[in-house]
Amino acid sequence: MPSTGLMTMETKLLPERPMSNDPRVAGLPDTPAPVICEYCGAERHTEGAILSGTLVLWFPGGAKPCSCPRGQAEYAREQEELMAHEAAKRKAEADERMRAKIRRVIHESGMRERFLQRTFQTFITDTPDRKKIAAVARKYADDFRKQLPAHGVLFPGRNGFFITGTKGTGKTHIAAAIANHLLGQGISVICMTERNMFSLIQKTFSRDKDHGGTESEVREIYERVPLLIIDDLGKEKPSEWTLATLYAIVDGRYNRAMPLIITTNYDTQSLVNRLTPKGADKTTADAIVDRFNEMCESIIMSGESWRSK
């Protein structure tokens, strides 16, 4: 008789999942020894299973947790720690997959050189209003992970910015500073102009899906990336396609409660008019701006244009 097995007759008398303290398996060389509970002194035993009718396979992970209160509390703590570790690992893997998609489809963040040079350190805070705006934006960037939807908190409230004002007042700079700060922390961000965003989607119409991504893949990235920044919204001449595409992206982020930052020269009502193609109904543009109002805190950039200095 093999040293690691049991006679068929004896095996039939065993439960399907014998414990290591069962006297009928005590003599087997592979039977794990008991472990003493450090809290109450009771023996802890390992669970097994019958394999091929004559072999006991012992479950990995060692002896089962003790049933005493402190033993159960320690087991619960270990399980919570393990789950947190696994969740962090899955999050890191998901973040890397997102970064890989952005690298393949949008070439990193999509930020042009002029965006990359704009940081909190280079933002000029020469007035009380600009100092306040810089402080609000920096705190937002420092605490950004709190702006993302979490388990049990699907809608974190207004977790983005609608930045409006005249040209040259620093709208793009402050948005790019947030993006650069987050990219430095390894958080995926897409920061691009309205023109570049639509241009990238249009390029998918004619290219091979294996060399740069399909339209649906690019749009999904816009909808799911942790932070999407659309710069200079309203600058381009609208069309039925751009309006429908913008609505799909904004609505996708709205439904997922994902943060969005908009910079524009227009106030909300003027933006509705600007996004609506000539002769078209304003319903869709109005719905887009309504989403902005619900998703974003408003920041008004005022003062003299720095480009003229």
CATH of the domain at 106: 3.40.50.300
> 117 with 265, same domain?
yes
75 lies in a domain? no
Asked whether the beta carbons of 16 and 49 are under 8 A apart, the reply is yes
Got the DSSP string for 166-227? STTSSHHHHHHHHHHHHHHTT--EEEEEHHHHHHHHHHTTTS-TTTT--HHHHHHHHHHSSE
Q: Are residues 160 and 228 in the same domain?
A: yes
Same domain, 120 and 194: yes
> Is there a single domain that holds both residue 111 and residue 227?
yes
- What was the pLDDT predicted at 15? 63
> Who has greater pLDDT, 65 or 11?
65
Whether residue 105 is contained in a domain is answered as yes
Give the SS3 label for residue 44: strand
Assess if residue 190 is contained within a domain.
yes
Residues 272 and 209 in one domain: yes
- Res 136: pLDDT: 96
Torsion angle (degrees, nearest 10) of CA 177, 181, 182, 188: 70
In-domain check, residue 270: yes
- For residue 81, tell me if it sits in a domain: no
- Do 58 and 48 touch, CB atoms closer than 8 A? yes
**27 C-beta neighbours (distance < 10 Å), count:** 9
Regarding whether 112 and 45 lie in a shared domain, the answer is no
Whether 54 and 93 map to the same domain: the answer is no
Which residue type, as a one-letter code, is found at position 309?
K
Q: How would DSSP label each residue in 242-273?
A: HHHHHHHHHHHHHHHT--EEEEESS-HHHHHH
Residue at 137 is within a domain: yes
C-alpha distance across the termini of the chain, in Å: 94
- Are 201 and 153 members of one domain? yes
Per the structure, the count of domains in the chain is: 2
Least confident segment among 10-19, 95-104, 237-246, 268-277: 10-19
50 and 139 share one domain: no
Reference 262, options 142, 146, 175; nearest CA is 175
Residues 93 and 50 in one domain: no
Amino acid identity, residue 187? I
**Residue 94: enclosing H or E segment and its boundaries?**
helix 69-106
Q: Return the higher-pLDDT residue of 68 and 53.
A: 68
User: Tokens for 46?
Assistant: 């390992």
pLDDT band at 27 (very low <50, low <70, confident <90, very high): confident
Q: Has residue 159 been placed in a domain?
A: yes
Domain that holds residue 32: 8-58
Q: What is the pLDDT of residues 135-144, one digit of tens each?
A: 999 999 999 9
Task: Judge whether 3 lies within some domain.
Answer: no
Final residue belonging to a domain, choices 58, 73, 100: 58
Q: Mean pLDDT of all residues in the chain?
A: 84
Buried b (16+ CB within 10 A) or exposed e, 187-218: bbbbbbbbebbbebbeebeeeeeeebbbbeeb
Are 159 and 32 in a shared domain?
no
Residues 182 and 42 in one domain: no
Other beta carbons within 10 Å of 62: 12
**Which of residues 109 and 93 earns the better pLDDT score?**
93
Confidence of residue 109 (pLDDT cuts 50, 70, 90): low
Please, how many CA atoms are within 13 Å of residue 144, restricted to the half-sphere of its CB?
25
Is a pLDDT exceeding 90 seen at residue 160? yes
Distance CA 140, CA 155 (A): 17
* pTM score of the predicted model: 0.70
Residue 9 clears pLDDT 60, i.e. is over it: no
Contacts of 194 (CB under 8 A, 6+ apart): 230, 231, 232, 233, 234, 235, 236
